[in-house]
């Protein structure tokens, strides 16, 4: 992972796209979801966006990145694109996401062959782009490496997560957590937040 060193100013364009990802995270928060959001950009244009929807879908794998990737796959399949064309499209796409992709999402991103990833705060517990595993630098037969830069507007991403948990997560309290399928993710982000606030 490349992290912006303190005092390094990211490109205006990077900040602009990360702001859109943060907007998605805020939408997630408005829907009482853990606030993580993303956008996928091709040729300077946002072509997909996603926000965490684990509670709404009762599916702990519906992370922002998976939502954005699946929307594109669906669209491109409708367009009749071949696998090769889909791969070629992803190889021109950049993802901006408010929190470091987890191991699952980092794997998915390397399988689809995304060109580049920018993220906000790190994910010290489940991060797949340098924190726990470095899936972005370990390509294989079915996976490609991708460039990854963290620390873009990290404070904003952390503040959203913090206010989500401070206001009391209706889905992730100790009692509720036994009964909701969003639980794994909620406790996952709680742990991330604890680590971040240290």
Is 89 a residue that touches Zn ion (CB under 5 A)? no
Nearest alpha carbon to residue 166 among 187, 150, 184, 190: 190
> Which span sits near Zn ion by CB under 5 A: 76-84, 102-110, 129-137, 174-182?
102-110
Q: Of these residues, 65, 74, 100, 116, which one is catalytic?
A: 65
Residue range at the interface with Zn ion (CB under 5 A); choices 80-88, 101-109, 149-157, 159-167: 101-109
Nearest distance, CB of residue 123 and Zn ion, angstroms: 8
Q: By the 8 A CB rule, do 26 and 34 touch?
A: no
The residues with which 127 forms a beta bridge, in sequence order, are 102
Q: Are β-strands 45-51 and 93-99 bridged in parallel, bridged antiparallel, or unpaired?
A: unpaired
Which residue in 69, 95, 105, 108 binds Zn ion (CB under 5 A)? 105
User: Rounded to whole angstroms, what are the CA distances from 22 to 29, 59, 74, 157?
Assistant: 10, 22, 24, 7
Give the per-residue contact string, 53-72, with Zn ion (x = CB under 5 A; - = no). Answer: ----------x---------
Least distance (Å) from Zn ion to the CB of residue 63?
3
Nearer to Zn ion, 53 or 89 (CB): 53
65 as an active site residue: the answer is yes
Residue 197 contacts residue 128 (beta carbons within 8 Å): no
* CB 130, CB 150: distance < 8 Å: yes
Task: Count the residues of the shown chain that bind Zn ion, applying the rule CB under 5 A.
Answer: 3
Q: Are 28 and 52 in contact (CB under 8 A)?
A: yes
Q: Does 136 bind Zn ion (CB under 5 A)?
A: no
Contacts of 193 (CB under 8 A, 6+ apart): 158, 161, 162, 165
Give the shortest CB-82-to-Zn ion separation in angstroms.
27
Taking CB under 5 A as the rule, does residue 102 contact Zn ion?
A: yes
User: Could you list the active site residues?
Assistant: 65
Residues that bind Zn ion (CB under 5 A): 63, 102, 105
């Amino acid at each position: 992972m490349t992290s912006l060193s303190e005092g390094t100013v990211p490109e205006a364009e990077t900040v602009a796209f990360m702001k859109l990802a943060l907007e998605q995270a805020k939408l997630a928060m408005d829907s009482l979801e853990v606030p993580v959001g993303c956008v996928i950009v091709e040729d300077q244009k946002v072509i997909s966006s996603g926000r965490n929807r684990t509670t709404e879908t009762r599916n702990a794998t519906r992370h922002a990145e998976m939502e954005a990737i699946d929307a594109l796959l669906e669209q491109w399949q409708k367009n009749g694109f071949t696998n090769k064309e889909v791969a070629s499209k992803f190889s021109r796409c950049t993802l901006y996401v408010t929190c470091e992709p987890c191991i699952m999402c980092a794997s998915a991103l390397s399988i689809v062959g995304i060109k580049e990833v920018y993220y906000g705060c790190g994910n010290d517990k489940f991060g797949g782009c340098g924190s726990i595993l470095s899936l972005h630098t370990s390509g294989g037969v079915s996976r490609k490496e991708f460039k990854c830069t963290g620390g873009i507007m990290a404070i904003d991403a952390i503040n959203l997560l913090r206010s989500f948990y401070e206001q009391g997560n209706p889905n992730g309290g100790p009692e509720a957590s036994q009964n909701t399928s969003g639980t794994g993710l909620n406790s996952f982000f709680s742990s991330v937040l604890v680590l971040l606030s240290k």
